[in-house]
Amino acid sequence: MSTKTYDPTPAKRVAFLGLGVMGYPMAGHLAGAGHRVTVYNRSPARAAQWVAEHGHTSAATPREAAAGADIVFACVGNDADLRSVVLGDQGAFQGMKPGAVFVDHTTASAEVARELGTAAQVLGLQFIDAPVSGGNLGAINGALTVMCGGDAAAFETIRPGAMAFSKAVTLLGASGAGQLAKMVNQIAIAGLVQGLAEAIAFGEKAGLDMKAVLGVIGKGAAQSWQMDNRGPTMVDDSFDFGFAVDWMRKDLGLVLDEAKRNGARLPVTALVDQFYADVQAQGGHRLDTSSLMKRLR
């Protein structure tokens, strides 16, 4: 866990649903910031492990975890997982007190964000869709970027708490805007990583010392986070850096579905999605997204 310094904010009673590679450290930062945290995870053993490490409490259901909380955070796998922890008799919405805010950090569809935003309003609750960028290391280091959609007053309520695990938390519009912004993020990353992979493959075929080349061109217009952080590891054929190909394909599926609805033309994104399918076919499901390099060697 990082030694991040937290801004002094009033402690709140919060819940965190989903203790995967992102949610586990995010919930830990909330505990470190002084909030009273109740966690829920589909696998109770994972929740017990978190409590053993951080203290606080766990709950057997999302409804129980959410009871009495001022803010309920969640980070689960997909739309179906999100609905399973929010809706139904044991869902978080049934346990939340009037006026409480549900903050969804799952990368999900804009459609489900709007659906749950409406459902929350009917129940006298508030909902913020808040997907994150920064991967597992960003979660561990408390340096995520959070893209939010929803009501401005609800956003101001949750922003101080979300800063416990973030370097930036920004409201970008109404319900669904956060998810749409995350799609923009993934479109940009997909094309950039493929371009970087092709550049490295070309340089290697040409007999260049690619670490030296990246060191030079990384000081000019070609510079990017991906080049600085993943370029050298791509040269080393090392692809164990967090955000998995399976997750990226899930995200790009959301992007391409949304593009069908809004009419956006995404030829490069669609092509890179198929390149990631090739990596999966090679057994690279859990490799990180820079493993596009493997197709070119």
Active site residues: 182
Contact 107, 182 (CB under 8 A): yes
